[in-house]
Chain A
Amino acid sequence: MAVVARPLPDRAPELEITQTQADVTRDVVGTLGRASTGYLLLLGGAVGLFLVGLLTFLILVKDGLGHAGYNPPIFWAVFITTFVFWIGIGHAGTLISAILFLFRSPWRTAVYRSTEAMTVFAVMTAALFPIIHIGRQWVFYWLLPYPNQRWLWPNFKSPLLWDVFAISTYFTVSSVFLVFGLIPDVAAVRDKVTGWRRTVYTLASVGWQGTDNQWRHYTRAYLYLAALATPLVLSVHSVVSWDFAVSIVPAWHGTIFAPYFVAGAIYSGLGMVLTLIIPLRRALGIEQMITKYHFDNLAKLTLLTGSILFYSYSMEYFVAWYSGNTFEQTTFFRRPFGSMWWAGWTMIICNAFVSQLLWFRKIRTNLTALFVISIFINIGMWFERFVIIVSSLSNDYIPWAWSDMNPTWADWGILAGSFGWFGMWFLLFAKSFPIVAIQEIKEMIPMPRKRGGGGHH
Chain B
Amino acid sequence: MMRTLAFVLGGAGAAGLAAVLAFGGSPSAAQQQATPAADSATAPAIIDTGSLKGPRQPIFFRHDIHAGQFKIQCQYCHYSVAVSTEPGIPSMQTCMGCHLVVSGSDSSAKTEIKKVRDAWNAKQPVEWVRVHFLARHAHFPHQRHIKALGPSACTTCHGEVARMPQVFKANNINNMGFCITCHLERKVSRDCSVCHY
Contacts and interface: CB of A to CB of B under 8 A. Distances in A.
Interface of A: 149-151
A439 B179 CA distance: 61
Q: Top 5 closest A-B pairs, CB basis?
A: A149-B177, A150-B176, A149-B175, A151-B180, A151-B177
Interface string B145-187: 0000000000000000000000000000001110010000000
Nearest to A150: B176
Nearest to A148: B177
A151 B180 CA distance: 8
Contacts of B177: 149-151
Q: Contact size class for B?
A: under 10
A150 B175 CA distance: 7
A150 B176 CA distance: 5
6 contacts: A149-B175, A149-B177, A150-B176, A150-B177, A150-B180, A151-B180
A431 B81 CA distance: 70
Contacts of A149: 175-177
A150 B178 CA distance: 9
Nearest to B174: A149
Nearest to B192: A152
Nearest to B190: A151
Nearest to B177: A149
Contacts, number: 9
Given A151-B177, A151-B180, 7 more contacts: A149-B175, A149-B176, A149-B177, A150-B176, A150-B177, A150-B180, A151-B176
Contacts of A150: 176-177, 180
A42 B176 CA distance: 51
Nearest to B184: A151
Contacts of B180: 150-151
B115 to A, nearest CB: 39
A58 to B, nearest CB: 26
A150 B184 CA distance: 13
Nearest to A152: B176
A257 to B, nearest CB: 32
A151 B190 CA distance: 11
B171 to A, nearest CB: 13
A150 B190 CA distance: 11
B33 to A, nearest CB: 43
A342 B91 CA distance: 69
A150 B181 CA distance: 10
B196 to A, nearest CB: 11
Contacts of B176: 149-151
A182 B180 CA distance: 50
B162 to A, nearest CB: 28
A151 B177 CA distance: 7
Contacts of A151: 176-177, 180
A149 B181 CA distance: 10
Interface string B88-131: 00000000000000000000000000000000000000000000
Contacts of B175: 149
A150 B138 CA distance: 13
A151 B175 CA distance: 11
A150 B135 CA distance: 14
A305 to B, nearest CB: 45
A111 B133 CA distance: 61
B4 to A, nearest CB: 50
A149 B175 CA distance: 7
A150 B183 CA distance: 13
A149 B174 CA distance: 10
B65 to A, nearest CB: 35
B193 to A, nearest CB: 14
A149 to B, nearest CB: 4
A319 to B, nearest CB: 39
A116 to B, nearest CB: 44
Interface in B16-32: none
A384 to B, nearest CB: 38
B135 to A, nearest CB: 12
B94 to A, nearest CB: 37
Nearest to B176: A150
B179 to A, nearest CB: 10
A85 B147 CA distance: 57
B142 to A, nearest CB: 22
A256 to B, nearest CB: 37
B134 to A, nearest CB: 15
Interface string B27-60: 0000000000000000000000000000000000
A375 B176 CA distance: 52
A147 B177 CA distance: 11
A134 to B, nearest CB: 18
A150 B137 CA distance: 14
A209 B129 CA distance: 70
A149 B180 CA distance: 9
A148 to B, nearest CB: 8
A150 B177 CA distance: 5
Nearest to B180: A151
B98 to A, nearest CB: 41
A149 B177 CA distance: 5
A149 B171 CA distance: 14
